[in-house]
């Protein structure tokens, strides 16, 4: 259980004493990476020219240097002897072999600096691309994880963020709308802010004050949806709320006002969702 002076839980299931194992620095690597990755005995980081370097995780010796540079390690994914990173200038997804650093493929995606534009679930890789042929600016692409062939695409909803699980894909926008897809790309249901039951009319929504904290998005809890245990969606909603949704039928299970942590970071753990800001942690029962 998290312990801090500003922790304001709805309830506490249990506590335990924290401990720290003794640490020993045995090798220093003069590299800085925002999202360090360790896999199969290798530690991955960028050099000064933005090439990907694989270090031996025990000795710190360089094993290989990628054949292509101008990379950025924003939300990297390691899978099937590959690592997926971002092109620094084009925002393409760059697939590099973790065996020898060779270039395997490039994927058109919107840069991960905007939001997590790729995620891996089972045998599917989800990416977000620009949709130049439609008024809806982004589309969700589902690819096979092995050959990157496109399985399906979805562009019937202008979403800001998404989350994927083994059975569902959950999308939300800045205006309180939510769409749920099956993992096969079929739309299952969608909800508007009015349909959550939090607001009596569109006029009430239009008259809501700005979000707390001065964020540029109005009247909502900032951040991504999450999917808990492949059955409950936790979605940011207008007026700094979170709502829990039954993913099978789109029924609202609960709604809570988030007073101090209307921020990007939230995580489902056991039967609770934890919301984190720079000063507070809030926990709500799922």
- Provide the whole-model pTM: 0.77
- Residue 126 pLDDT: 93
The string of pLDDT tens digits covering residues 86-121 is: 888 887 889 999 999 999 999 887 654 445 578 889
The residue behind tokens 């008259």 is 207
The string of pLDDT tens digits covering residues 129-174 is: 876 666 666 889 999 998 889 999 999 998 888 999 999 999 998 8
Percent of the chain with pLDDT strictly greater than 90: 36
- Residue 112 pLDDT: 46
Instruction: Tell how strand 118-121 and strand 103-107 pair up.
Output: unpaired
Mapping DSSP to helix (H, G, I), strand (E, B) and coil, where does residue 23 land?
coil
The string of pLDDT tens digits covering residues 18-29 is: 555 565 565 566
What average pLDDT score do residues 186-198 get? 94
Strand partners, 93: 86, 107
- Residue 3 pLDDT: 37
Percent of the chain with pLDDT strictly greater than 70: 72
**Cα separation of 121 and 139, whole Å?**
18
What average pLDDT score do residues 42-54 get? 90
Q: How confident is the model at residue 14 (pLDDT cuts 50, 70, 90)?
A: very low
On whether the CB atoms of residues 190 and 159 are closer than 8 A, the answer is no
The string of pLDDT tens digits covering residues 260-280 is: 655 556 666 667 777 766 676
The residue behind tokens 């004050």 is 209
DSSP state of 212: G
- Among positive and negative, which fits the CA dihedral 257, 179, 174, 124? positive
């Amino acid at each position: 259980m998290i312990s801090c002076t500003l922790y304001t839980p709805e309830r506490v299931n249990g506590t335990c004493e924290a401990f720290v194992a003794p640490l020993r620095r045995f090798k220093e690597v003069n590299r800085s990476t925002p999202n360090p990755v360790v896999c199969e005995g290798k530690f991955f980081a960028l050099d000064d020219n933005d090439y990907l370097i694989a270090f031996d995780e025990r000795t710190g010796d360089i094993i290989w240097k990628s054949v292509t540079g101008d990379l950025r390690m924003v939300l990297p994914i390691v899978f099937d002897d590959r690592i997926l990173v971002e092109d620094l200038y084009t925002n393409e997804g760059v697939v590099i072999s973790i065996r020898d650093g060779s270039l395997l493929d490039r994927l058109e995606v919107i840069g991960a600096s905007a939001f997590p534009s790729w995620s891996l679930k089972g045998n599917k890789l989800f990416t977000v691309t620009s949709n130049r042929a439609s008024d809806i600016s982004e589309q969700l692409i589902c690819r096979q994880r092995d050959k990157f062939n496109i399985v399906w695409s979805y562009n019937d909803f202008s979403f800001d963020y998404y989350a994927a699980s083994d059975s569902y894909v959950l999308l939300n926008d800045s205006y309180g709308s939510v769409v749920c897809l099956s993992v096969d790309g079929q739309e299952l249901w969608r909800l508007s802010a009015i349909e959550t039951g939090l607001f009596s009319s569109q006029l009430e929504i239009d008259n809501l004050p700005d979000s707390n904290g001065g964020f540029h998005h109005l009247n909502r809890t900032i951040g991504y949806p999450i999917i808990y245990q492949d059955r409950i969606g936790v979605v940011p909603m207008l007026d700094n709320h979170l709502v829990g949704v039954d993913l099978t039928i789109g029924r609202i299970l609960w709604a809570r006002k988030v007073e101090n942590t209307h921020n990007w970071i939230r995580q489902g753990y056991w039967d609770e969702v934890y919301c984190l800001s720079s000063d507070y942690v809030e926990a709500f029962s799922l």
